[in-house]
Structure 1
Amino acid sequence: MDNEQRRDAAGDDTRAPRGATPQEAPPPEAIAVRPDRGALLRAFVASLTGTSLEWYDFAVYSAASALVFGRLFFPSEDPLTGALLAFSTYAVGYVSRPLGGFVFGRLGDVIGRKKVLVATLVLIGAATFLIGLIPPQSAIGPVAPVLLVLLRFAQGVGVGGEWGGAVLLTSEYGDTRSRGFWASAAQIGPPAGNLMANGVLAGLGALLTEQQFFSWGWRIAFLLSGVLVLFGLWIRMRLEETPVFKAMEAGGDRPQAPIKEVFTTQPRALAAAVLCRVAPDVLYAMFTVFVLTYATQKLGMPRSSALTAVLIGSALQIVLIPLAGALSDRWNRRRLYLGGTVAAGVWPFVFFLMTGGGSWALLVLGVVGALVIHSLLYGPQAAFVAEQFSPRLRYTGSSLAYTLAGLIGGAVAPLLFTALLGTFGTWLPLALYLVGTAVLTVIGVLLGRDADHDEDERYVRESADRARERAATAAPGD
């Protein structure tokens, strides 16, 4: 099925959901006006804030699971058992993401990008904040771990619906010919969130004793998420809806069953979007999470040395990711992505060979090199995923791709890395595993389509025409 047929298959059904009338939609002339640059910059900051909060939570929760959750919420005579139970709550956040992708992705194409993004930000932030207030098991018994699991589940649901909307918030505001740069706002969240979380934890570690941190200091890291939420809400509440969703409203083109439509009319687009995310997610998991275990257990380095290498790479990514997004606007996005994927499959062999001697400088070089390659993929990724789907199904499709790829990519990668290293005792199976994910991503990129820079403008014009026709044919008083 070619590009035009795919767009026709997804866009022929112009029925609006029940209750959607011309009077409820913006007037046709309103949807053809592009927001000013100030609105675009606010959208960029709003997108960045939400994903930064997500990854701030990711890093803080990971540290708390290892340091305090086992003792506070899952006390056991065997410390390992308590730690495993604590990490199980961490996994709950991944398992619940597809639910958020299904629920909020659908709503993003039905009620609007802005409303859903406000809801997901509140859900993530409130759950993170409340985790910092849960009394330990010694105070309220088994209710404590139950509350922890429920709040972690809520975080995952919110995160599952956040990414797709955060991407569209900037990509549908700006010029489609610079979509790679503007959509990269959502992609800066992981390194920014990691740096914020580690900065907060390092500050608490320097100011507090170990007993103080265990008793109450860890809670501060969770309670501070409320500041990010308030700032993000202040930004997001000031935004207008994107021109594409205004066009959907005015033209009566909001889908009634967007999830079903994505699976039935755009399966190739969904497959491309899911597979293109697998290798970048696994590469990131290897060089920001698993590398800490490898450096300490196999190379005999202090954990702080490995963490410093990750933080240096993360700091560089804050600049490299938007640059890579902008680069994909100048070059063909698919070719850039293919080149980055090949590099991702090759680099683990280089990394493990160069770091075998235990040199910290080479470890830093290896981690930074991996995160440079990851930036070449992650920067253009948001735009590539979004432009696979027709405008009226874009939020649903992007959210489904994000959450489904997470299940087969980043969610299981650290566990598989650890299991492979423990079973074989060598790095070769780990590198081959990443090669396998690179093959999947190459297939996804080849299945995908190049950007159609005129698609959004064409869709807005056609929707305005439909809105005028509906207004002209509506009975007086309807």
Structure 2
Amino acid sequence: MSSSPTVVHGPVSERRSLYKAFAASLSGTSLEWYDFAVYSSAAALVFGDLFFPGSDPLTGTLQAFATYAVGYVARPLGGIFFGRLGDVIGRKRVLVATLLLIGVATFFIGLLPTHAQAGAIAPTMLVVLRFAQGVGVGGEWGGAVLLSSEFSKAGERGFWASAAQVGPPLGTLMANGVLAVLAGTLSEEAFLSWGWRLAFLLSAVLVAFGLLIRTKLEETPVFRELEARGDRPTAPVSEVLRTQTRPLIAAILARVGPDVLYAMFAVFVLTYATKELGMSRGQAVTAVLVGSAFQVGLIPLSGWLSDRYGRRTVYAIGAVGGAVWSVVFFAVASSFATVLPGVVIGLLFHSLMYGPQAAFVSEQFTARLRYTGSSLAYTFAGVIGGALAPLAFTYFLAKSGTEYVIAAYIVVACAVTLVGLRLGQAVDDSVDAAVSPA
């Protein structure tokens, strides 16, 4: 081990390391979320027919979303396992492992037999591989956030930490883009037979590229300092639960609203638009594609705004706007002409929460427990928010017959986020004591 705890030695090299960390965080997270998002889209569009056949298409969708939820339920296990490792052995090595895990699981999903070919073993294997995806994503987020934020300075962390936040919309953009091309160029029969598999098999190439970037990355200066001082925790999970209770609760609650809003405007809207509004699959996917494209720019902008005006202020505007817009959306959504701008605006409010989220969550925890604390907050909130939301939306729509029950669900989720923001620390530029090990 080097006798010096410092990785960089001047403004130029510091900035170069920051750019490399930003690229590694962005590219790796985007590739992992491509894997995760391609499953989410396939669950909404084809998995109900291929793995859960039945006379009721809505029931098939509900069952397909159940396997979607498994990916979220598995996240806390990934957060606990990989989060602990991230605080003990370092950010870089853990992030290589999480990327590899998701890539292998996604590739094998593309090779699975369908229910018609293998019977009950097909959906069983699908759930197992989805579970593996979830474990990988559960350990990814906390490290990806720290990768870029721990190289940055006070007053800039909202922007630089947002690199990991751009991953989901960019991954969604790539996943839905690939599925849109396949659905648009292949016949319905060919797409359902083998075309959807290509989107999963492509992940092998993408993950190989991400691994190349991450293996060449250096460890963050914050962790190297902790390592040099011998200040790494031995039981970070129990220490977080024992000493960081309020920050953990605040971070979990703050994440619920964004997860639910994203589940609505990037996942469930595919089912709603095709099955309830009669739109084509291509139109529904296009709406999500356009909204995701806007998010690629809106998320870092929101992170930058949080550096200027405060995390909680920008975050709260997104929560209130998302709650109001969910009601408006169902009132106006009737065709592609109204769904497209509806999705874009919905994801705009999501961006206002999601951009500052990485910095807000990581700033709640001390440096020696930050990977574990951030991972636990991210994964447990995912179960409460993102995992349940598509299932709840589908169930409520089938039982009540009205979309406004869904809107009410989103309003409550955004209110929970506001409570989390109130409980959290407004640290922003004064976060040096929490972010640096000094």
> With structure 1 as the length reference, what TM-score do the two structures score?
0.84
1:195 CA displacement: 1.4
**Aligned counterparts, 1:430-445, within 5 A:** 430-445=406-421
**Aligned counterparts, 1:180-219, within 5 A:** 180-219=158-197
Q: Distance in 1 between matches of 2:352 and 2:50?
A: 41
Instruction: Give 1:403's match in structure 2, choosing from 349, 373, 379.
Output: 379
**Aligned counterparts, 1:261-280, within 5 A:** 261-280=239-258
Q: Distance in 2 between matches of 1:271 and 1:344?
A: 22
The answer as to 2:200 corresponding to 1:236 is: no
| 8 A contact 2:34–2:175 mirrored in 1 | yes
- Aligned position for 2:398: 422
Amino acid in structure 2 at the alignment position of 1:290: F
Gaps of 5+ in 2: none
- Aligned position for 1:20: none
**Range that drifts further, 183-192 or 212-221:** 212-221
Q: Per-residue CA shift, 1:373-404, capped at 9, x if unaligned? A: 11111111111101010011100010001110
Q: Per-residue CA shift, 1:124-168, capped at 9, x if unaligned? A: 111111222334567666654443332221111101000110111
| 8 A contact 1:167–1:183 mirrored in 2 | yes
| 8 A contact 2:22–2:147 mirrored in 1 | yes
The answer as to 2:344 corresponding to 1:368 is: yes
| 8 A contact 2:87–2:371 mirrored in 1 | yes
Q: Per-residue CA shift, 1:301-326, capped at 9, x if unaligned? A: 44433332222211111111111111
Distance of aligned partners of 1:134 and 1:30 in 2 relative to their CA distance in 1, 3 Å threshold: same
Instruction: Give 2:292's match in structure 1, choosing from 298, 303, 314.
Output: 314
Amino acid in structure 2 at the alignment position of 1:44: F
Distance of aligned partners of 1:370 and 1:321 in 2 relative to their CA distance in 1, 3 Å threshold: same
Q: Distance in 2 between matches of 1:207 and 1:297?
A: 22
Instruction: Give 1:92's match in structure 2, choosing from 64, 70, 80.
Output: 70
Secondary structure of 1:409 counterpart: helix
Secondary structure of 1:268 counterpart: helix
1:365 CA displacement: 2.5
The answer as to 2:133 corresponding to 1:121 is: no
Q: Distance in 1 between matches of 2:413 and 2:176?
A: 29
Distance of aligned partners of 1:392 and 1:207 in 2 relative to their CA distance in 1, 3 Å threshold: same
The answer as to 2:294 corresponding to 1:327 is: no
| 8 A contact 1:49–1:228 mirrored in 2 | no
1:420 CA displacement: 2.4
Q: Distance in 1 between matches of 2:63 and 2:271?
A: 19
| 8 A contact 1:248–1:254 mirrored in 2 | yes
- Aligned position for 2:128: 150
- Aligned position for 1:288: 266
Q: Distance in 2 between matches of 1:351 and 1:68?
A: 25
1:112 CA displacement: 0.3
1:368 CA displacement: 1.6
1:53 CA displacement: 2.4
**Aligned counterparts, 1:124-143, within 5 A:** 124-136=102-114
The answer as to 2:351 corresponding to 1:383 is: no
Amino acid in structure 2 at the alignment position of 1:411: A
Q: Distance in 2 between matches of 1:458 and 1:202?
A: 44
When the two chains are superposed, the root-mean-square deviation of aligned CA atoms in Å is 2.6
1:31 CA displacement: 5.4
Q: Distance in 1 between matches of 2:238 and 2:143?
A: 19
Secondary structure of 2:92 counterpart: helix
**Range that drifts further, 210-219 or 408-417:** 210-219
Distance of aligned partners of 1:360 and 1:187 in 2 relative to their CA distance in 1, 3 Å threshold: same
Q: Distance in 2 between matches of 1:202 and 1:147?
A: 25
1:454 CA displacement: 5.6
1:52 CA displacement: 1.6
1:457 CA displacement: 6.9
Q: Per-residue CA shift, 1:260-315, capped at 9, x if unaligned? A: 11111011100111011111111111222223333344444444333322222111
1:240 CA displacement: 0.7
Distance of aligned partners of 1:289 and 1:138 in 2 relative to their CA distance in 1, 3 Å threshold: closer
1:177 CA displacement: 1.6
Q: Distance in 2 between matches of 1:426 and 1:69?
A: 25
| 8 A contact 1:70–1:86 mirrored in 2 | yes
Q: Distance in 2 between matches of 1:210 and 1:49?
A: 32
Which of structures 1 and 2 has the bigger CA Rg? 1
Q: Distance in 1 between matches of 2:272 and 2:48?
A: 23
Aligned length: 436
Q: Distance in 2 between matches of 1:148 and 1:189?
A: 24
Amino acid in structure 2 at the alignment position of 1:128: T
1:327 CA displacement: 1.0
**Range that drifts further, 433-442 or 82-91:** 82-91
Q: Distance in 1 between matches of 2:237 and 2:343?
A: 38
1:48 CA displacement: 1.5
- Aligned position for 2:22: 44
| 8 A contact 1:391–1:456 mirrored in 2 | no
> With structure 2 as the length reference, what TM-score do the two structures score?
0.91
